[in-house]
């Protein structure tokens, strides 16, 4: 049993990084640069896992090691408990690289047919699958158009189509929403959610926090080659709770001044005012506002946004 399987109670993770490390030698002096540093990570069956990090954090390098495009300096990447070096294991995965490039002399249908041949799919099955995928990604109209006449968004759709061509159990998407307009981003999000509904596992990277926040079950934040935080969004984002946000209108200047004196200073928010208070002082604030004739429009426990967390993690290292 691999370390990853042992760590997850005997259930083999769909994707596991075990002390995954990559070192590049750059320049004439062969200066060593560690792009990925001893990353341990497990992605389980059926989850959408977000890999979040600033540019140059090591997301793409880690994903390429998982796909067998780059060999780790030490540690290993396992797919379904097996080495990615085995081509047969790659039948169960689909991969969309960052800013994907394709043979631009082929048409939309031809490129998918070519990839189908690499999976050893019979001709008839290939044709049916290609037709279904072109419809799914909305490229029916461009099936006979060469890829050099495709827009960036259309290429991204072909990229997603080829990543799910083989009906994979694990789909690895490197910045799948990058370069897409809001409509395109929504469509990709919908496809990812559809994949989850079909029981597939999705591992995708993004620096667009909103995309990760809205669809991921679990997240890992990678900064300078190291995974700094990992867990469910709920676990990661409630760590700093205990504060409550209150928004109110019609508070008189006198009331505001009195609250200020009591340590409940407000900030202007739209047409009203906003307070962030500890739970213990919430009742005092609400009572003062109601007694003072103000209208309370919004009371909500403060939840740290993924952006706050991300900025904090990335910022801490930036300050190092």
Q: Which residues bind other proteins (CB under 8 A)?
A: 24, 61, 64, 67-71, 86-91, 93, 95, 97, 99-103, 105-106, 114-115, 117-120, 159, 162
Q: Name the 3-class secondary structure at 307.
A: helix
Q: What's the CA gap between 164 and 115, in Å, rounded? A: 11
Distance CA 179, CA 160 (A): 14
Residue 272 has φ and ψ, to the nearest 5°, of -130, -145
- Rounded to the nearest whole angstrom, what is the least distance from the CB of residue 264 to other proteins in the complex? 55
C-alpha separations of 51 from 10, 86, 198, 287 in Å: 24, 24, 21, 44
Q: Which is nearer to other proteins, 50 or 159 (CB)?
A: 159
Burial of 293 (0-12, 13-18, 19+ CB in 10 A): exposed
Residue 281: CB atoms within 10 Å: 15
Shortest distance (Å) from residue 6 CB to other proteins: 25
Shortest reach from residue 223's CB to other proteins, in Å: 20
User: How far is residue 123's CA from residue 204's CA, in Å, rounded to a whole number?
Assistant: 31
Least Å from the CB of residue 105 to other proteins: 4
Strands 48-52, 218-223: pairing is parallel
Closest distance to other proteins from the beta carbon of 164 (Å): 13
- Greatest Cα-to-Cα distance within the chain, rounded to the nearest angstrom: 80
Q: Smaller CB distance to other proteins: residue 32 or 86?
A: 86
Nearest distance in Å: CB 69, other proteins: 4
Which of 134, 140, 98 is CA-nearest to residue 115?
A: 134
CB of 27 to other proteins, least distance (A): 14
- What is the distance, to the nearest Å, from the Cα of residue 159 to the centroid of all Cα atoms in its chain? 17
Q: Of 155 and 236, which has the nearer Cβ to other proteins?
A: 155
Between residues 99 and 128, which has the closer beta carbon with respect to other proteins? 99
Minimum CB distance to other proteins smaller for 173 or for 230:
173
Q: Which residues pair with 107 in a beta bridge?
A: 146
Residue 91 or 317 with smaller CB distance to other proteins? 91
Shorter beta-carbon distance to other proteins: residue 93 or 255: 93
């Amino acid at each position: 049993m691999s370390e990853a399987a042992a760590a997850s109670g005997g259930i083999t993770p769909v994707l596991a990084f075990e002390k995954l490390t990559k070192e590049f030698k750059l320049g004439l002096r062969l200066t060593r640069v560690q792009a990925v540093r001893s990353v341990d990570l497990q992605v389980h069956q059926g989850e959408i896992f977000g890999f979040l990090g600033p540019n140059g954090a090591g997301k793409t390098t880690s994903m390429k090691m998982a796909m067998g495009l780059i060999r780790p300096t030490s540690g290993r990447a396992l797919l379904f408990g097996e080495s990615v070096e085995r081509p047969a294991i790659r039948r169960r995965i689909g991969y969309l690289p960052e800013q994907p490039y394709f043979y631009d002399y082929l048409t939309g249908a031809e490129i998918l047919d070519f990839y189908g041949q690499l999976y050893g799919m019979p001709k008839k099955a290939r044709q049916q699958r290609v037709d279904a995928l072109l419809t799914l990604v909305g490229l029916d109209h461009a099936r006979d158009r060469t890829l050099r006449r495709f827009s960036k968004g259309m290429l991204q759709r072909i990229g997603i189509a080829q990543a799910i061509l083989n009906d994979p159990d694990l789909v690895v998407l490197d910045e799948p929403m990058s370069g897409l307009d809001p409509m395109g981003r929504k469509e990709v999000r919908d496809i990812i959610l559809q994949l989850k509904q079909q029981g597939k596992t999705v591992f995708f990277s993004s620096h667009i926090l909103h995309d990760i926040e809205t669809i991921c079950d679990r997240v890992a934040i990678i900064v300078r080659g190291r995974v700094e935080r990992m867990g469910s969004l709920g676990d990661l984002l409630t760590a700093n709770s205990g504060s409550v946000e209150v928004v109110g209108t019609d508070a008189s200047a006198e009331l505001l001044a009195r609250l200020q004196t009591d340590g409940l200073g407000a900030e202007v928010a739209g047409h009203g005012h906003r307070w962030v208070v500890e739970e213990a002082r919430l009742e005092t604030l609400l009572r003062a506002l109601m007694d003072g004739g103000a209208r309370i429009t919004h009371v909500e426990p403060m939840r740290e946004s993924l952006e706050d967390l991300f900025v904090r993690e990335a910022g801490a290292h930036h300050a190092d």
